[in-house]
Amino acid sequence: MPDSYWQSMHQIGGLAGVASPHLPETLNRWFYKNWAGSLGRFVTKRGLTPRTVFDVGAGTGFWLDWWLRHGAEEVAGCDLVPLAVERLQPRFGSRVTLVDVSSQPITGVYELVSVMNVLLHITDGPAFKRALENVAAAVAPGGYLLLMEPLVTGPSGGSLVAAADANSLARPADAYIAPLCASGLELVVLKASTAIGSDPIEKGRRSYRAWRAFWNIMRRGTRKFPQLASAVGWLICAMDPVLLRLGAAPSEKFALFRRP
């Protein structure tokens, strides 16, 4: 993906610049609240207590702050956008570096490497594979790689799926799993992370059309009436955990890998 795209995204500022720029900032904050809640439940259930964490595509620093609040002693990260790194270094110092993981390795190894909705934006196949190799290499022995990405596991999982815009791509789960296992990691668990809190992708599920309709109505409605963003965001946060327990149309997955 051209660096100019991400430069323009970060010019927007706020969470809208790293999530959904065409939706109100208020709704983007609710999206992140929903993701953070889902991550908290996942980390607690798995007993993940990493001391050192590296966040790929650190963006606004949301996940760096999250890991610090949840027990990490040291956090570091990278981003491919100079503006993002410039904004983060006053808060996190030189631990945040300018690195494009699709072409550059990460310095050092960590108990946990987190990649939260980053790799879907690498639409070039060879660059995507290099990114997987680079993030895997940053996992210390006995450490973990945690992805939150649109990994497709349903009947549509045999081919690439264009997401809501030309700058992202939902891939079949094996497009992630096979290269990461070849890099020496072992898959621990693959689990739904959101049902309606992200763009629905599981076309093979019966409930897909309902969630796709909800998503489209939500996007159009909050663009036209931004004052509805808080109500819609609250509804998503209330419904999403319930729908996940019911196994309804997950949009994204957590994929947890471990290096023996």
First to last CA, the chain: 33
- Tokens found for residue 105: 């390795």
CA–CA separation, 201 vs 182, rounded Å? 26
CA–CA separation, 165 vs 180, rounded Å? 26
CA–CA separation, 235 vs 196, rounded Å? 10
The CATH architecture to which 3-12+24-258 belongs is 3-Layer(aba) Sandwich (3.40)
Determine the distance from the C-alpha atom of residue 204 to the mean position of all C-alpha atoms in its chain, rounded to a whole number. 22
CA–CA separation, 150 vs 194, rounded Å? 10
DSSP H helices, 20-154, are 25-46, 62-69, 82-92, 125-137
Q: Where are the domains of the chain?
A: 3-12+24-258
Number of residues assigned to the chain = 260
Comparing C-alpha atoms, which of 217, 42, 193 is closest to residue 120? 193
Regions of the chain with pLDDT less than 70: 1-14, 16-19, 154-166, 200-207, 249
**What is the structure's pLDDT at 210?**
77
Residue with tokens 């660059």: 127
CA–CA separation, 169 vs 181, rounded Å? 21
**What is the structure's pLDDT at 81?**
92
Comparing C-alpha atoms, which of 18, 16, 23 is closest to residue 6? 18
Instruction: Give the dihedral sign, CA 241/245/248/252.
Output: positive
**What is the structure's pLDDT at 159?**
46
- Tokens found for residue 7: 């430069």
Strand 161-162: give its sheet, edge to edge: 151-152, 169-172, 161-162
**What is the structure's pLDDT at 157?**
47
